[in-house]
Structure 1
Amino acid sequence: MTPIRLIIEFIRTHFSSQTQCIQPVRPLQKKRISPDNSLWDVLSFAAGIAYTLAFAPFDSYLAVFPALAYLFWSCMRLTPKRSLLRGYLFGLGQFGLGVSWVYISVHDYGGGGLFGSLFITGLFVGFWSAFPAIAVYMTAKLPGKQSSRLIFYPLVWMLVEYLRGRVVLEGFPWLQIAYSQLDAPLAGYIPLLGAYGAGLLGAVSAALLAGIFIRPESTLYLSAGIVSLWLVGGVLKTAEWTCPYGEPLKVTLIQGNISQNKKWLPETRVSTILQYIRMTEAHWDSQVIAWPESAVPAYLSDVYEPFLKPLHRNAKAHQVDLIVSVPSYGEAEGVKYNSLITLGRNEGIYRKVHLLPFGEYMPWQPVSGWILKHFNLRLSHFTPGSADQPLLRAGGYPFITSICYEDAFAENALHELPEAAYLVNATNDAWFGDSIEPYQHLQIARMRALETGRYLLRSTNTGVTAIVSPNGRILKQAPLFTTTALTGTIRPMTGLTPYARIGDRPVVAFIAALLLLILLLTHSDKMRLFRIDEKCPM
């Protein structure tokens, strides 16, 4: 027997009474931990923490698989209610660490006190933690033998992730499997299937890993399945789905490093604008210069004549295009937009479409409004822009624009392809201080470059400013909390990745159809994969 088989047999014998019937061979086995013992619940919380370690800035991408495999395996023979508890504890570990930066935003910059900030952060973590719980609960409720649940887990998991990432509160796709795999073999599937398709293959890998502990005699076949998925993904990573056209562009991204608690003070407004202008004028040798989100701490109509109009003329004289983020007023009274404009050779305006819930608008009124008022929290109130705005141009090419949180949604970019030659994201992550959020956000933005096969220019206020290649790799990156100008070269790209052609709907439809088919086969007792002795006691 190989060492791996010995280790698996030891774990299976001493800890997993839920996998199959094991005859006691010595009295000490009477003290084995029952699968519904509370210790397994605690380990589920720890598994949720381990899951988050796969994402930036920790970047231990392999951690996703044992964490999910544990959750799937440990819930195999639990009742739906106990699975719900275990899934919720997993979610608390996952989001408790993964979105802990909410506290910094609310407490340090949102004006909330200690109790109010903890309360809001707890609500946020608790709400999103429900989704892993829903996934394992729904799986436990599905008809059929318990042995078939391992096949259901990846499918149900990804359907629930789709609801979380695209539907509920207009979507919160943070900490979804595929984002942790950008530097891993499974990233090869992203230009073909997108984040949800690659995420499904990640969940399948975790289920196969769990299957090794359930049926160690099938280790060779299950391991071969994992290796095959990863080998194909590794080969696909070498494919180039889009190609460059036109001349390279020299670009400069300005990172002003303006503290969030000083940014909107009247006494610092002029000095902030002048700082960005000075940093821009030092790079007239670039063809495109981009500023971060809300770099101008005033509304467009208030600063255009004294500051931006002269800058526009100067940029045009130097044959440079400027990309400047500045809030603007609408034609109707009280209408405000989070906007981005172009100056220089091309003039245009983009108004943010996908607003941030609880940051730029208030869902769930009047309850959410009462909470913010009760805890004295400050909030911007913006209006979403039209979904059919024309593409802006800079450097002689059209580009896809996203402001801050919009880069978390692939569909915002896909309908503008193949016309767009590159991507631009203007962001202000100063709201989250020196936390893990800026690195997570950059990881999400990299996904959009890989999905579309386009270069990405990501300009941020305090970091992390970066230039990303069409294969999702960071070419240049500025450190957090430094005042700097990041300069590099990009190529305009043309063509479409397979994912850019099909989007998410076919992948989600396939998952739903496959789940329905398996349910029908299981109900008719025609499928017996991962068969376990049904006489094994709970």
Structure 2
Amino acid sequence: MRFLIALLAGSASVFAYAPFGAMPLAFFSLAVLAALLTCAPGARSGFLLGFAWGFGAFVAGVSWLFVALHRYGGMPAPLAALAIGLFCAYLALFPGLIGALQARLQQGGAWRRAALFAGLWTLGEYLRGVLFTGFPWLAVGYTQVPPSPLAGFLPVLGVYGVGGLVAFVAALAVAADWRRRRQVVGVAAMVALLFVAGAGLRQIAWTQPVGEPLKVALLQTNIEQDLKWAPARLQDWLQVNARMVADNPAQLVVLPETTLPLLSDMLPRGYLDLLADYARAGGGDLVLGLFTRDADDNIYNAAVSLGSAPSQHYAKRHLVPFGEYSPPLFGWFYQLADIPMSDQTRGAPHQPPLAVGGQKVAVNICYEDLFGAELLDSLPEATLLLNISNLAWYGDSLALPQHLQIARARALETGRPMLRSTNTGMTAVVQPDGEVSARLPAFESGALHAEVRGYQGLTPYARWGDAAALGLAALALLGAVWLRSGRGRAA
């Protein structure tokens, strides 16, 4: 029964994320896990409880992968379900490890137990985000974008640090002895202090506008994934892209990731020149996503600028395993799934922002904006962030609103607007305070016209990266372990 409760609590956590936005459920879900771990007799039981919680959370939260593998990747449904189950089981190893260590090391009073859980949670999510190229989707801190008061900590501690705060509050509420008035007052005061501090940090403008307002046109082509690669429709898609650029002049026009379904050197002669002419006629620049190839036949998922400024490019550097490249020993995967352009090469680790529209625009492509620390490489030079994505792979699923929520966290962490141009949604403008100021409806072709300001300066997170969150987690763990001599006494 305990493991079933953990599984259900993990599954319920999906409602704390977009599009549901039931932010308090993040605290409740972790509180249930912390309560179960309090009664765990040992590390093995703790691991199984954490694993059950994690498996429930990831199956509920990333079920949209089934759409990519089965509907668009052509993998038989049973094999797609098995692949996703194995992937979620791998991800669940991280909360499993957290549970094992919590059950093994928890001793002493409420504050120590809560500090231990928070430290373990922070380090566990960080490891999930970096090991084997990382998969930080559904980090708990993403649930705390505005209107959560803890959103104020995102520019300071980043998403992992905020996740640690959620874990601390959840575990403290469980570990406290509610029969002792003094302890109840102390716990309530600490929680109130965190929320008030977060609300206060929200009032700080860590970065400042620079330059004149920029008129942008973020284009959403709405080309279905199963039609995009049909040779008979190629001419239609070329015309759709060209017409949308011509009809939406702006200082910065953006087409989504891989908006053209073939390599740049295979495009009709003069096609890119035509797009550049349209951009220049509108007095601006165009950034579009397409596949490029170098002299050594390496293929890149790239963003290329055309128009008034000299042409520049950015090549995606953090590729998606199994979608854009095959990890070692997994070549058999592509015998079961049909994924176009799945043998790509990583771009250079440090690439300068694109100088377009009078701004310095740091491009990240689709999945790359999950990795907040990597986006810091472009700062402080970059004044705007731009994400181009093709989420048509995932249909009408939770992936779209969850990805927009991730973009909101990145805007807060960097103190920069995040512009998003996507194929099917969510095309949007996210302000430095994490608020979405404009958005197109999903699954409609259209152009989002807006004025944005570039920003300069650095947030604390932009200066420190994840070091502050990891340092606090290490201190919490050291303190909880070092003070074990006080076990048996209440805090």
Q: TM-score range by the shorter chain?
A: over 0.9
Q: Quote how far apart the aligned CAs of 1:215 are.
A: 5.4
Contact 2:411 2:434 in 1 (8 A): yes
Task: Report the equivalent of 1:223.
Answer: 188
Give CA-to-partner distance per residue, 1:479-507, whole Å, 9 cap, x none.
11101111111001111111111111232
Task: Report the equivalent of 1:445.
Answer: 407
Is 1:348 matched up with 2:309?
A: no
Task: Report the equivalent of 2:451.
Answer: 489
Is 1:91 matched up with 2:54?
A: yes
Task: Report the equivalent of 2:35.
Answer: 73
Match of 1:199 among 163, 178, 181: 163
Task: Indicate how the Cα distance of structure 1 residues 500 and 150 shifts in structure 2: closer, same or farther if over 3 A, else same.
Answer: closer
The code of the aligned residue for 2:82 comes to F
* Mean CA deviation greater in 306-315 or 480-489: 306-315
Question: In structure 1, how many angstroms separate the alpha carbons of the residues matched to 2:269 and 2:463?
Answer: 43
Task: Report the equivalent of 1:133.
Answer: 96
Is 1:413 matched up with 2:346?
A: no
Q: Quote how far apart the aligned CAs of 1:214 are.
A: 6.2
Task: Indicate how the Cα distance of structure 1 residues 215 and 92 shifts in structure 2: closer, same or farther if over 3 A, else same.
Answer: farther
The code of the aligned residue for 2:479 comes to L
Match of 2:141 among 153, 178, 196: 178
Task: Indicate how the Cα distance of structure 1 residues 434 and 216 shifts in structure 2: closer, same or farther if over 3 A, else same.
Answer: farther
The code of the aligned residue for 2:13 comes to Y
Is 1:515 matched up with 2:480?
A: no
Task: Report the equivalent of 1:64.
Answer: 26
Question: Could you say what secondary structure the match of 2:84 adopts?
Answer: helix
* Mean CA deviation greater in 421-430 or 201-210: 201-210
Question: In structure 1, how many angstroms separate the alpha carbons of the residues matched to 2:457 and 2:471?
Answer: 25
Question: Could you say what secondary structure the match of 2:477 adopts?
Answer: helix
Task: Indicate how the Cα distance of structure 1 residues 143 and 91 shifts in structure 2: closer, same or farther if over 3 A, else same.
Answer: closer
Q: How does 1:274-353 map to 2 (within 5 A)?
A: 274-284=239-249, 286-303=250-267, 305-333=269-297, 335-346=298-309, 347-353=311-317
Task: Indicate how the Cα distance of structure 1 residues 214 and 117 shifts in structure 2: closer, same or farther if over 3 A, else same.
Answer: farther
Q: Quote how far apart the aligned CAs of 1:387 are.
A: 1.2
Q: Quote how far apart the aligned CAs of 1:527 are.
A: 6.7
Question: In structure 2, how many angstroms separate the alpha carbons of the residues matched to 1:404 and 1:376?
Answer: 21
TM value normalised by structure 1: 0.87
Question: In structure 2, how many angstroms separate the alpha carbons of the residues matched to 1:144 and 1:359?
Answer: 44
Q: Quote how far apart the aligned CAs of 1:467 are.
A: 0.6
Question: In structure 2, how many angstroms separate the alpha carbons of the residues matched to 1:349 and 1:413?
Answer: 16
The code of the aligned residue for 1:96 comes to V
Task: Report the equivalent of 2:201.
Answer: 236
Question: In structure 1, how many angstroms separate the alpha carbons of the residues matched to 2:457 and 2:346?
Answer: 30
- Mind listing any 5+ residue stretches in structure 2 that lack a counterpart? none
Percent identity between matched residues is: 38
Q: How does 1:358-437 map to 2 (within 5 A)?
A: 358-363=322-327, 365-366=328-329, 368-373=330-335, 375-378=336-339, 380-437=342-399
Question: Could you say what secondary structure the match of 2:432 adopts?
Answer: coil
Contact 1:136 1:157 in 2 (8 A): no
Give CA-to-partner distance per residue, 1:79-136, whole Å, 9 cap, x none.
2111111111111210111011011110000111111111111111111122111101
Contact 2:245 2:279 in 1 (8 A): no
Task: Indicate how the Cα distance of structure 1 residues 150 and 411 shifts in structure 2: closer, same or farther if over 3 A, else same.
Answer: closer
Question: In structure 2, how many angstroms separate the alpha carbons of the residues matched to 1:529 and 1:396?
Answer: 62
Q: Quote how far apart the aligned CAs of 1:517 are.
A: 3.5
Question: In structure 1, how many angstroms separate the alpha carbons of the residues matched to 2:438 and 2:472?
Answer: 37
Question: In structure 2, how many angstroms separate the alpha carbons of the residues matched to 1:125 and 1:262?
Answer: 29
- Mind listing any 5+ residue stretches in structure 1 that lack a counterpart? 1-37, 532-538
Task: Indicate how the Cα distance of structure 1 residues 520 and 116 shifts in structure 2: closer, same or farther if over 3 A, else same.
Answer: same
Task: Report the equivalent of 1:6.
Answer: none
Q: Quote how far apart the aligned CAs of 1:75 are.
A: 1.0
Contact 2:9 2:33 in 1 (8 A): yes
Is 1:162 matched up with 2:123?
A: no
TM value normalised by structure 2: 0.95
Task: Report the equivalent of 1:107.
Answer: 70
Q: How does 1:448-467 map to 2 (within 5 A)?
A: 448-467=410-429
Question: In structure 2, how many angstroms separate the alpha carbons of the residues matched to 1:398 and 1:71?
Answer: 44
Contact 1:66 1:209 in 2 (8 A): no
Contact 1:91 1:132 in 2 (8 A): yes
Task: Report the equivalent of 1:252.
Answer: 217
Question: Could you say what secondary structure the match of 2:226 adopts?
Answer: helix
Root-mean-square deviation over aligned CA pairs: 1.7
Contact 1:321 1:343 in 2 (8 A): yes
Task: Report the equivalent of 1:470.
Answer: 432
The code of the aligned residue for 1:410 comes to G
Figure out how many residues of one structure are paired with residues of the other and give that number.
485
The code of the aligned residue for 2:28 comes to P
**Structure with the greater alpha carbon radius of gyration:** 1
